[in-house]
Amino acid sequence: MVSIRSAAALLTAAAAQASAEKFGIYMPDTANVTGINAKPNATAVVPVPGWNLAKPYPGYWNDGETVDNNSGGCGWTMHLNLTANVSSSYDDRPGRVMRQSLELRPPAAPAPGALLDPETGNLTVSSNTTDTWLVRFVVFSKHEIPTGGQNNADGSCAGILSQECTDNMRAKYTSELSTIDGSEDWEGSIGAGGCPISGWAVLHPWDFNENFMLNNTLYWDEPLSADNKYSNAYDFYGSRPVPYAIIWGHSNTTAVGQRVTYDHVTIGCIKANETVGDSRLPSAGVKPGSAGGVMMWAVTAATAAAMGFGGIF
């Protein structure tokens, strides 16, 4: 089973057929949200066609628009950081690890849909609006995702996940009882048929309070090597896209009993495509055990503001 830690409330996890070597997924605490993976070797940023959470659910970007002519807006971005060798954040398993982190950032002020004060990072949206939303962030295992290929500029999963897979995921999430009722409890499984995803998954609803950016940041550590699996975690995991989903759902006080529409389920993939300093990109073709210019970094705390992830198929 995957170990999952969270400083924020309401973290729901589902784990299946998880590798014994996998260390798990964290949500950072308030002290290290901006520094948990601040000195990566490789990064990526892709757009996320999300919805306007500064408006009540369903958050259309222009008044009067309907599901038929609105496929989501722009301004949300997904940020991926990969660090090849860093100190483990697991107290019970000290040592060196490879770290991956995902951060979903909302539109920045003064753009439409901005949620955070640019000076303080505090949520600026009224609870009358946020109380209509129940947004969930789902991240999947990528062990079975093929290596190679490039990051899609639009953040989509085209060429990575099949149409059957994404259709089944949307059908599953929109028909899940908890999304219909706006319940924070998730009763069913997270995986969907036709998807090359059989391992762990993490699903949790966002808190619209001082923990908002914590909800939008996930990180996980991998052993640098694992017997009979890989000799270089940076290449093994870094050469694979990270698949995820965002369910832009309604709360239990709004549209109760109504199914979330398909366009309110974002399915995206992101893969590192930019290097930092003299590092190199992860490669499935690199000789096993080769670091190839990857530097060793230690996490340093920072006190910057808003952090926050990309794409719709």
Does residue 189 lie within any of the structural domains? yes
| pLDDT above 80 for 50 | yes
Closest CA to 213 of 139, 133, 102: 102
Q: Are 70 and 92 in contact (CB under 8 A)?
A: no
Strands, sheet with 242-250, edge to edge from the N-terminal-most edge strand: 12-14, 201-205, 133-140, 242-250, 265-270
Give the tens place of pLDDT for each residue, 114-129: 999 888 888 999 999 9
Q: pTM of this prediction?
A: 0.80
Q: Are 279 and 16 in contact (CB under 8 A)?
A: no
| pLDDT above 50 for 187 | yes
Does residue 288 lie within any of the structural domains? no
Window from 27-41, 100-114, 190-204 with minimum mean pLDDT: 27-41
Non-local (6+) Cβ contacts of 152 within 8 A are 46, 158, 159, 160, 269, 311
- How much is the pLDDT for 7? 26
Band of the pLDDT at 273, cuts 50, 70, 90? very high
Mean pLDDT, residues 304-308 taken together? 24
3-state secondary structure 192-253: CCCCCCCCCEEEEECCCCCCHHHHCEEEEEEECCECCCECCHHHHHHCCCEEEEEEEEECCC
Does residue 282 lie within any of the structural domains? no
Does residue 16 lie within any of the structural domains? yes
Amino acid at 227: D
- Phi and psi, residue 85, nearest 5°: -155, 110
Does residue 294 lie within any of the structural domains? no
Does residue 158 lie within any of the structural domains? yes
Band of the pLDDT at 207, cuts 50, 70, 90? confident
Q: Return the structure tokens found at 243.
A: 């698949």
Please classify residue 68 by burial: count the beta carbons closer than 10 Å to its beta carbon, then call 0-12 exposed, 13-18 middle and 19+ buried.
exposed
**Dihedral sign for Cα atoms in the order 152, 154, 157, 162:** negative
- Residue percentage of the chain with pLDDT more than 70: 73
Does residue 10 lie within any of the structural domains? yes
When the pLDDT of each residue in the chain is averaged and rounded to a whole number, the result is 75
Angstrom distance (rounded) from CA 21 to CA 32: 25
Greater confidence, 81 or 217? 81
- How much is the pLDDT for 137? 85
Report the 10 Å Cβ neighbour count for 227.
8
Mean pLDDT, residues 229-240 taken together? 90
- How much is the pLDDT for 27? 53
At 115, is the secondary structure helix, strand, or coil?
coil
- How much is the pLDDT for 301? 21
Q: Are 182 and 255 in contact (CB under 8 A)?
A: yes
- Phi and psi, residue 248, nearest 5°: -90, 75
Number of domains making up the chain: 1
Does residue 313 lie within any of the structural domains? no
Band of the pLDDT at 29, cuts 50, 70, 90? low
Separate counts of helices (H) and strands (E) for the chain: 5, 12
Q: Kindly state the helix (H) or strand (E) to which residue 105 belongs, with its residue range.
A: strand 96-105
Give the tens place of pLDDT for each residue, 130-169: 999 999 888 877 767 878 767 788 899 999 999 999 999 9
DSSP state of 264: G
Mean pLDDT, residues 97-110 taken together? 90
- How much is the pLDDT for 4? 27
- How much is the pLDDT for 58? 92
At 82, is the secondary structure helix, strand, or coil?
strand
Instruction: Give residue 261's domain range.
Output: 4-275
